Amino acid sequence: MDVNNLVSIAQAMVADHKGLLAADESTGTITKRFETINVNSTADSRRDYRELLFRAAGIGKYISGVILYDETIRQSAADGTTLVDLMKKEGILPGIKVDSGAKPLAGSDSETVTEGLDGLRDRVMEYVDLGAKFAKWRAVIKIGDEMPSGHAIHTNAHALARYAKICQEGGLVPIVEPEVLMDGNHDINSCQQITEETLNSVFGELYAQEVVLEGMILKPNMVISGSDGEKRADINEVANETVATLMRCVPAAVPGVMFLSGGQSEIEATMHLNAMNNNHKNLPWKLSYSYGRALQASALKAWLGEAGNVKSAQEALMLRASLNSAACAAEYKGEAV
């Protein structure tokens, strides 16, 4: 294992005021998003959309890396340039989603465990050959009636640690993503308690399996009220509860915490990130972003599948990326809603 290389990549991922673009939607997920703009999802239309994202001039100023889907890391742009090479030209690190999704958890009626460990070592070798520098694995934790169970938390934490170890041995920096879902009517206190329990379990497993903390990135949820809650916590409460939870659970050796947006609106996700960086200085790790919808929603609406809209879509992406970069520096000034 080349620890120095892993550490170097992880540090590049959390470079000052930069974040990650999550463009790793499965074919099923991106098809649903295309349906919202009446665009037929084909290999070419998916390629065209992602190509416009990666060709946005200057995007490397705000984006350090892009998480790709298996299809995308193998695709070439319309002119024959590989999408990986497009990113490299912008100084952006290519990454890859390696899990195979959340599947029903044995012994539970409603919970899931993320699968994909079978054959992972060989897939890591292939993705390294295709140019990947880091990987991502998402575990899903639900809050609800008698959920989450300790079994669900432990099983997902164990899988995350096994994935992380395999990736590091193969030369990829693992993004460890335990997501406590926003879905539900729970309050912020419930989210805080479950997030703390989940992170403690995850880092216990990472320690047990001797994962190099300096060569990984944490991608957690923010501590936030359920999306259906009647009285949702405000921006500063979310920021303060999230940082307090991280301080209790995340070792200082981890280079960066790159939050998922988890169903938040674009503006909400940016406001929360800014408040964290504004309210809390001299933290042991960088606080940044690894957003999918919260970077892409406006760009997708601007594109509408039309070649003539590519420039407008790129401008929408650049705006969101620049605003989140400002939030990393606690310099986000807000925007018209």
* Res 231 pLDDT > 60: yes
pLDDT tens, position by position, 151-160: 999 999 999 9
Is 89 one of the annotated active-site residues of the chain?
no
- Of the candidates 266, 260, 291, the residue with the CA atom closest to the CA atom of residue 181: 260
Nearby residues of 188 by Cβ (< 8 Å), 6 or more positions away:
223, 224, 225, 232, 233, 237, 238, 241
Domain ranges of the chain: 3-328
Instruction: Compute the distance between CA of residue 246 and CA of residue 65 in angstroms, rounded to an integer.
Output: 23
Arithmetic mean of pLDDT, 83-107: 96
Report pLDDT for 110.
93
Arithmetic mean of pLDDT, 310-314: 97
Between strands 217-218 and 286-291, the pairing is unpaired
pLDDT tens, position by position, 114-158: 999 999 999 999 999 999 999 999 999 999 988 999 999 999 999
Nearby residues of 257 by Cβ (< 8 Å), 6 or more positions away:
217, 218, 219, 220, 246, 250, 285, 286, 287, 288
Between strands 134-141 and 173-180, the pairing is parallel
Query: What is the pTM assigned to this prediction?
Result: 0.95
Angle, helices 293-303 vs 43-54, to 10°: value is 110
* Confidence bin at 265 (pLDDT 50/70/90): very high
The CATH class that applies to domain 3-328 reads alpha beta
Is 177 one of the annotated active-site residues of the chain?
yes
* Confidence bin at 337 (pLDDT 50/70/90): low
Catalytic position from the list 177, 205, 241, 266: 177
Catalytic position from the list 219, 241, 266, 286: 219
Q: Which amino acid is at 310?
A: V
Residue at token pair 């060989």: 122
Q: In percent, how much of the chain has pLDDT > 90?
A: 94
